C-alpha cells in the first residue's frame, strides 16, 4: 500500500515489544483488507490506565472516511486496556486540511503547532527522495549545485562508502553518541539498535558508513 510505513509493520511492533500490540483491520465486501491500524499500548506506572499509540497510522486511503471511522470505532472497542489517550501521527501532507477536519470530527485534537518538540514521538516533518525509475545520474543532477559540489569533493578527497553488518553497530553507536552530545539530543543504547537490526529483513534495513583514511566519519 502506498501508505505503508515501517512503524506500522509487525517488525516494528517486535522492536517495541515492551508495548502490547493490537492490529485492527477493515475489510471490503469481498473480505479483502482495505484499511489497517497497528496499535501500541502501554500501561502507565502507578495508575490503572494506559495509552494507545498508532505510529504513522492508519494504512489506508486517507480520503476514505468510512474506513477511517470504522478503524476508530474498533480502536474504541479496546477499552479493556482502560486507555485514557489515543495518539496518532498519520503519514499525511502538512497541507492536508481535509484529513485534519475528518480527524476532529471523530474526536481527535489536531496539533498544528508544537510548543515542545520533546513531546513528539515521531519527527514533525519528514522528506522523501523518490528513486523509482530514476538513474543514478538523474538523481544526482536533481541535487542542489552545492550538494553536487560537496559529493564530488568528498569523492576527490578519498571518502568511500561501505555497507556494514551487525558487527559494526558499535562503530555506529560511537558516531551517534558523539553527534548526540554535540547537538544535544537523546541517544538510545546499542541494545536497542541490535534489536532493530535483528527485527527487519536485510532488504529493508541497511547500515552504511562513510569512511575517510579507513576510519568511519558518518
96-146 pLDDT tens trace: 999 999 999 999 999 877 777 666 667 778 888 889 999 999 999 999 999
Phi, psi for residue 25 in degrees, rounded to 5: -125, 145
Q: Quickly count: other Cβ atoms within 10 Å of residue 87's Cβ.
A: 14
Instruction: Please tell me which residue, 4 or 139, carries the higher pLDDT value.
Output: 139
Alpha-carbon distances of 70 from 26, 87, 107, 109, 144, rounded to whole Å: 7, 17, 13, 18, 44
Q: What is the pLDDT averaged over residues 67-88?
A: 91
Cα end-to-end span (Å), the chain: 32
Query: Is the Cβ–Cβ distance between 175 and 214 less than 8 Å?
Result: no
pLDDT > 90? residue 48: no
Query: Is the Cβ–Cβ distance between 197 and 169 less than 8 Å?
Result: yes
Q: Is the dihedral of CA 90, 91, 96, 99 positive or negative?
A: negative
Q: How far apart are CA 207 and CA 197, in angstroms?
A: 9
* 133-177 per-position pLDDT tens digit: 999 999 999 999 999 999 999 999 999 999 999 999 999 999 999
- Residue 119: predicted pLDDT: 65
Q: Quickly count: other Cβ atoms within 10 Å of residue 84's Cβ.
A: 11
- Residue 71: predicted pLDDT: 96
Among the residues of the chain, which ranges form H helices?
Answer: 10-15, 65-76, 97-105, 136-141, 145-157, 169-183, 190-199
pLDDT > 70? residue 212: yes
Query: Is the Cβ–Cβ distance between 26 and 71 less than 8 Å?
Result: yes
Q: What is the DSSP letter of 121?
A: S
CA torsion angle for 166, 172, 177, 182 (degrees, to 10)? -160
- Residue 120: predicted pLDDT: 67
Cell numbers for 92, please give them: 499525511
pTM tops 0.85, yes or no = no
Question: Number of C-alpha atoms within 13 angstroms, CB side, residue 81?
Answer: 22
Query: Is the Cβ–Cβ distance between 58 and 4 less than 8 Å?
Result: no
Q: How far apart are CA 99 and CA 111, in angstroms?
A: 13
Summary mean pLDDT of the chain: 92
Q: At which residue does the C-alpha cell 489517550 appear?
A: 85
Amino acid at each position: 500500500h502506498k501508505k505503508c510505513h515501517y512503524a506500522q509493520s509487525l517488525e516494528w511492533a517486535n522492536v517495541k515489544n515492551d508495548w502490547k500490540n493490537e492490529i485492527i483491520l477493515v475489510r471490503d465486501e469481498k473480505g479483502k483488507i482495505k484499511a489497517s491500524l497497528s496499535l501500541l499500548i502501554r500501561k502507565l506506572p502507578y495508575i490503572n490506565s494506559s495509552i494507545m499509540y498508532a505510529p504513522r497510522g492508519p494504512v489506508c486511503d486517507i480520503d476514505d472516511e468510512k474506513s477511517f471511522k470504522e478503524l476508530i470505532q474498533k480502536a474504541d472497542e479496546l477499552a479493556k486496556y482502560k486507555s485514557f489517550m489515543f495518539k496518532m501521527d498519520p503519514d499525511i501532507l502538512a497541507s492536508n486540511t481535509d484529513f485534519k477536519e475528518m480527524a476532529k470530527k471523530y474526536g481527535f485534537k489536531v496539533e498544528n503547532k508544537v510548543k515542545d518538540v520533546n513531546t513528539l514521538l515521531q519527527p514533525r516533518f519528514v522528506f522523501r527522495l523518490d528513486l523509482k525509475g530514476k538513474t543514478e545520474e538523474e538523481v544526482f543532477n536533481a541535487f542542489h549545485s552545492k550538494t553536487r559540489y560537496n559529493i564530488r569533493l568528498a569523492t576527490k578527497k578519498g571518502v568511500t562508502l561501505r555497507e556494514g553488518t551487525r558487527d559494526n553497530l558499535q562503530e555506529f553507536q560511537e558516531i551517534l553518541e558523539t553527534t548526540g552530545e554535540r547537538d544535544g539530543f537523546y541517544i538510545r543504547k546499542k541494545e536497542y539498535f541490535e534489536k532493530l537490526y535483528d527485527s527487519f529483513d536485510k532488504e529493508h534495513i541497511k547500515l552504511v558508513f562513510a569512511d575517510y583514511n579507513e576510519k568511519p566519519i558518518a
